[in-house]
Structure 1
Amino acid sequence: MTTELRVLRQTEWDAWYGQLELAFGGIPEAPEERSLWNDLTETERSLGVWDDGACVGTAGAFSFRLAVPGGSVVPAAGVTMVSVASTHRRRGILTSMMRRQLSDVRSGGEPLAVLTASEPAIYGRFGYGIGTQQMSLDIDTARVRLTVPEGTDGVRLRISDPVAAVERCEAVYARRVPVRPGMLARRPGWARLPVLDPESERAGASPLQCVLAERDGETVGYARYAVKPDWDAEGPKGIVQLRDLEALDPAAYAALWRHLFDLDLTSRLTTRNRPVDDPVLHLVSDVRRCSVRVRDGLHVRPVELGAALETRTYARPVDVVLDVSDPFCPWNEGRWRISGDAKGASCERTGDPAELALSVRELGAAFLGGVSLGALAGAGRVRELRQGALAEASGAFLGDVAPWLPHGF
């Protein structure tokens, strides 16, 4: 095999991205979507595999900052745009790209790598664990009612052009990032992603709409959505397609949901990505008519194990020696003492006897506080070597709110 793995050149982006499109079905993206990803691509962090002048493999990374338990926002490599040509499978191309990429991430000083997976079975062998989940809803708004908190009627709602309102929405979003682990602080240019609205992808729905929640002249929440009209012999049955919703307090949050429930000529509300502990589940009168489904969200991998575990705080005091296996990044293998509490943590190599044995994949799954080490132990993926160590570590790693990634990348 004469393939060459190297950093992407800017002049090669079209061929490189064309390979990615082909791997994902071969349907070209809308020009405005392609232009956005061209602008956001960090060429110096993108890898291509070439065979006789043709691109046969792609992998990229974004320079993100990720919210972690305790409220810190820390550097993380956002792995993206990964593909291998169908003609070049089973030749080690994906493994070689993953190995080079993680080495580069380590050299760049980022303690974590994260990704969203087209197929969740792919990345576990490279040390990624499923660290967040996302919830989809299909709500029968003709039959489900909301019970809203005191103060909801005092929130003013105003329809605004989604693009014109970006700055105000981003200010709300930025205040929400430290509150929920898994959220990404948006770098310059990324505010374009939530309002990307190619006509070719609307499938009969309206252009993107935006409603702002205001109190005393301040924007305290927003929702962006589309409406897909539909009718049958009994009358209108349109669908509200919620894209994203953020609010700074319960009253603003409830006011936005009530607005979506009350839109004329609609009887359903769908949304593909909400946190699994979304408060709307406690506002609705009948959760069974909300068709709740859950799937994987953000996959997390500690790249520099000690540095990664030191970036977050812990819900209760913990002092446990971990015996970690990580054959793909052997610099992480061995025994580590994690000692921390709600104020901070240290994680250093130790020669002391191990108290829990697990792989880096389990640490990635538990890192953001949404996956219990106890549950992983129940699946045989964590072994307790000292009685009591599992309960101590499991309780310390868990967070107060479910971690959540609000958008892909």
Structure 2
Amino acid sequence: MANEQTGPTPELRVLKPDEWDKIYANLIRAFGGPPEAPDERELWNSLTEFDRFLGAWDGDVCVGSAGAFSFRLTVPGGASVPAAGVTMVSVAATHRRRGLLTSMMRRQLDDVRSWGEPLAVLTASEPAIYGRFGYGAATFQTDATIDTRRAGLSVPAGTDDVRLRYAEPAEVLDACEEVYARLVPGRPGMPARRPGWERLGVLDPESRRGGGSPLQCVVAERDGGTVGYARFRVKPNWGPAGADGEVVLSDLEALDPAAKAALWRFLFDIDLTSTLVARGRPVDDGWQYLVSDIRRCRPTLRDALYVRLVDVGAALRARTYQAPVDVVFEVADPFCRWNEGRWRLTGHAKGASCERTEDPADLALSVRELGAAYLGGVSLSALAAAGRVRALRPDALAEASLAFGNAGAAPWLPHGF
């Protein structure tokens, strides 16, 4: 190719603790952002699992990186499955078009397989990049800009029994984290947070405020216990007609509909504000069914978590299926050829088996489509309608699509990594 660059091949090696500053500086430059606040850098340094992070080096200069946090991810049926949370992927602009990203993805997926983790997951800064490595968009999220003066709320019974109080975010962090942990098994796509990750929700550098207040927190209580919380900022504004402030929601979790409704009603009613901005919410979030006028909320859909089946058999065995299924997949996976071939999936609501077979295939698809459908948020039938899945046996598509669906909460990733 005419625009291909040449030069020595960078050395790819596992990150050493004393190299972290160099690799992080390259990452920040690659993403074009200003330097992060010291407490933000310190948190990411403390969360880094050095033996799971790769650096690419041209001499003593870091020119690329790819890391993988060790997560456990909820899958349909409630199991918590080991997953590599791919993160901090970067290539220096001076070293593009040398195959460096492909080399890092190759090494990383080999490593994930050796660690015995059946899944790799990521959030994509550029979605077009990761499909060729077998990642499929598996969860989506809703953003909304709500006109709280014109979109009212109708709350369920019991909402008035919930007590709300302001609290310093750091002082109630443990109680809020207990609420989050209780919710994790009930929603596919949610990661069980290891110690230290709870600090991500209360980071409050000036650079994140966008002209708004320091992070605020309100907890919802019932019978002396915490049943929910909301973290948010208020951005004051005054126009010709008076106060026109904005509430920017960071997190909202609750254990039951009444507690959740109480928190949403509080956010809608904050004095001197007329807009509530909510980003990254579940596509089935309950507030959408409480508002009087959804058109005043301007909901938009965005991709969120991308899933890659590193071990097809182990991944499909790890989840359950909402209807009985017995189907043979013909799987294409040119990047991880150990997955290629035919797999017989037999499953139901209590468990599943998935083994290699020589039986005729019922459905043909790539590992990317399996990743997209894995958490139950993307239909195999919809992928077939787009030409991404081929039905080779009558009724196989309907059977598999129904089984892969999720009868409970929609899959959702609550925060990035």
Instruction: Name the TM-score class by shorter chain.
Output: over 0.9
Return the offset for 1:276.
0.6
SS at match of 2:166: strand
Q: How does 1:4-403 map to 2 (within 5 A)?
A: 4-400=11-407, 401-403=409-411
Return the offset for 1:26.
4.4
2: CA distance, partners of 1:188 / 1:213 = 23
Return the offset for 1:30.
1.2
Return the offset for 1:239.
0.4
2: CA distance, partners of 1:27 / 1:204 = 17
Q: Which amino acid aligns with 1:402?
A: A
Q: Which amino acid aligns with 1:322?
A: F
SS at match of 2:117: coil
**Cα deviation 1:132-163 (Å, max 9, x = unaligned):** 00110100001110000001001111111100
Return the offset for 1:27.
1.5
**Cα deviation 1:7-40 (Å, max 9, x = unaligned):** 0111110001000001000411111111111111
1: CA distance, partners of 2:382 / 2:63 = 39
Matched, 1:405 2:397: no
Q: More deviation in 26-35 or 288-297?
A: 26-35
2: CA distance, partners of 1:386 / 1:218 = 54
- TM-score normalised by structure 2 residue count: 0.97
Q: Which amino acid aligns with 1:70?
A: G
1: CA distance, partners of 2:200 / 2:222 = 27
Q: More deviation in 30-39 or 123-132?
A: 30-39
CA RMSD of aligned residues (A): 0.6
Structure 1 portions without partners, runs of 5+: none
2: CA distance, partners of 1:154 / 1:2 = 65
SS at match of 2:63: strand
2: CA distance, partners of 1:26 / 1:227 = 24
Return the offset for 1:2.
3.3
Return the offset for 1:98.
0.3
Return the offset for 1:329.
0.3
Return the offset for 1:108.
0.3
Q: More deviation in 2-11 or 368-377?
A: 2-11
2: CA distance, partners of 1:316 / 1:200 = 48
SS at match of 1:101: helix
Identical-pair percentage? 71
* Structure 1 segments of 4+ aligned residues over 2 angstroms from their partners: none
**Cα deviation 1:45-75 (Å, max 9, x = unaligned):** 0001101211111000100010100011111
Give the match for residue 5 of structure 2: none
1: CA distance, partners of 2:365 / 2:187 = 26
SS at match of 1:408: coil
SS at match of 1:143: coil
1: CA distance, partners of 2:56 / 2:221 = 50
SS at match of 1:5: strand
